[in-house]
Structure 1
Amino acid sequence: MAGGDRAVERAWTIKEADRYVKVPDWSPAADRTSFPELPGTPTIPPEPPVFESCFRRLSDDGKTVQRYDRMPYVYGGWDTVGQLLARVADSTIAPGGWDRTSGATTSAFYGVAGTRSPDGEKEEPGKVRAKEHLARYHLAGIDCSGFVSRCHRLRGKLSTRELPGRYLDIDHRRLLPGDVLNRPGDHVVLFAGWTGGGYAGLTLYEALGGAPAKPRRATLPRDTHGRVVRRDEEWSWFEARGYRPLSPFPQLVSAGIEEYDGKRALKVVCAASGVPDVTEIRVGGVPQVFTGTPGMDLTTGTAAMTLECRTAPVDEGLLKPGVEVAVRMTNRTAGTVFEDESRVGPAGL
């Protein structure tokens, strides 16, 4: 990897997600903020003009400073944990979540009322600048795609519409921790693993917007809306709503034994959304010498670069039933290198 890049692995992604679910304790210096109009930006709707966060600074009796250990949801935001802690200490910035007086979510305060579609992201072009300004300077927190971008250590925030062009479309049965379920223009979640055997239930991480059924109140520990959470859900819920499994990680397509000039070698094919590379092939724990040939595969639903590798003749003593082939691969996409290792029993043995 050039330039001293540090590759992102699946385990690191999940560890990073856990950091956003429970952050170091903080207390807001302010729990309300206004959104002044900037020159050249659309007029902010007059109702409601002030956002009063569900992450209250003081208790109901006004005597106890409240403390929290959650990352608030902010539509358009992508604060790191460190940035959150610094920003909530600023009396001009309020934590996100939802508005405790109206029950409105953070996105209701962007642009002109009535211009957003139900998915919350389709806006008139002129509204984008106002949205970005409000999230960046007045509210502290992160949204769904910002959360995924941080967990994948991307150099810039990718929206739910941009992810399909940078990540590989995969079958849901190939989902592994660190992959995502994405619905363009709506929402994205980070996949953590399957639950209960099979492919019915899953565990996920997400920056979840919205508000609870009775939102005109402060947030409670049991709430899941307005913050980053880890929770369980059924695959059928996502499938019915058109979510697509995507992965920034390289994928092992096949690994099989083939004969060349009377000797047996290993052929490996991997695919990725950006620039794939194979850094190591081991047979029975023994590293193999190999060469690679890049190609293009358009059969997965999105353009996918492939890499085909062939090893030198493999020691016949290794080619026995039960032998394991390990392939370490990388993918460079969205300015980030993703690394993964797959272990399989080779076909054709």
Structure 2
Amino acid sequence: MRLLNPRLRAQIVKELLSILRDPRSRLVLVVPPLVQLLIFSFAASLEVNHVDLAVYNRDTGQASYELLAQIGAAGFVGHVYTVHSPDQRRALIDRQQVIAAIDIPPDFSRHIAAGRTATAQVILDGRRSNAAQITLGYLDDIAARVGATLAGSDQSARDPTVARHWFNPNLIYRWYIVPSLSGILTTIIALIVTALSIARERELGTFDQLMVSPTTIFEIIVAKVVPALMIGTALGLVMIGAGVFLFGVPFRGSFLLLLMSLLLLILSVVGIGLTISAISSTQQQGILGAFAVAVPMIVMSGFATPVENMPRALQWVAQSLPLTHFLVIVQGCFVKALPPAVVFAEAWPMAVIALVTLAVAHAVVRRKLG
């Protein structure tokens, strides 16, 4: 702080005090991100657990009993219903009591005993398509161990395919969701802090005093950026620490590279937040503007769906979002030990975005104060 001139230092202190002295502001900035991290880390998961299955076994051989024993002992299976007719099987699926039904034909064990590949049919509940397809994948792995395939599967006991999952061998979805949430929630907090900064001045009546003060436009921008940078960095580091020590996500990359990328992410976002705040007349408008920007940014960042699956135009938009690049870095630093060259390849677009957004914020604030 000694390197700052007295006017700029006073502005930064004023901004920090205006945020931290207000009990409601402290509550909004600290409690919701941590609660959201805890809730989303457990709730937002594509893992399938405790699913109920139906089995229509028309075979009396050893292979079918071995298959059913392994299915019943699988960790993702909740309860296995034994049915004795297609009508019973259909009724369980219609009532959504089971997500899948396995139909084992009468010659199942005979084919396996003769050295041939036996095939069982799996009927999936299409109303829960994503969970049903994941369940089918789990059942495929079990069937392959007893020398069988499931209808619709491309695995074969004669030509087995062995899958190895690098970096996350047990496919623990929390290892993906927790690092991503640290970037997403940091983005939201940085947006809200800056989106309320100038709007708060207007509501409190201090905006006119700011206009007639000797403070330059650059000093005003810096005074609004520094508190958001400090608060966002602190919360981001807390969430990263929670991922490592609370949720047990392995951290294999460079902490310094991740910290640098986190700072670039916040700088990119605060420029957007300041622009929103400058054109907002009230804090309510600032919050609405922040969420209007945050939601599309999260959706197109690659968090929920791969960027490569989007239309070409939306892929270009996604590459212009800082969160898209930060998610690659934070996920890689946690589980991959991402090389510095790859980190810099994703960091330099964030640096360009930060320069652009801060320049736009400077121009908008100058016009509003001018």
Greater strand percent: which structure? 1
TM-score between the two structures when normalised by the length of structure 1: 0.27
TM-score between the two structures when normalised by the length of structure 2: 0.26
Structure number with larger C-alpha Rg: 2
Greater helix percent: which structure? 2
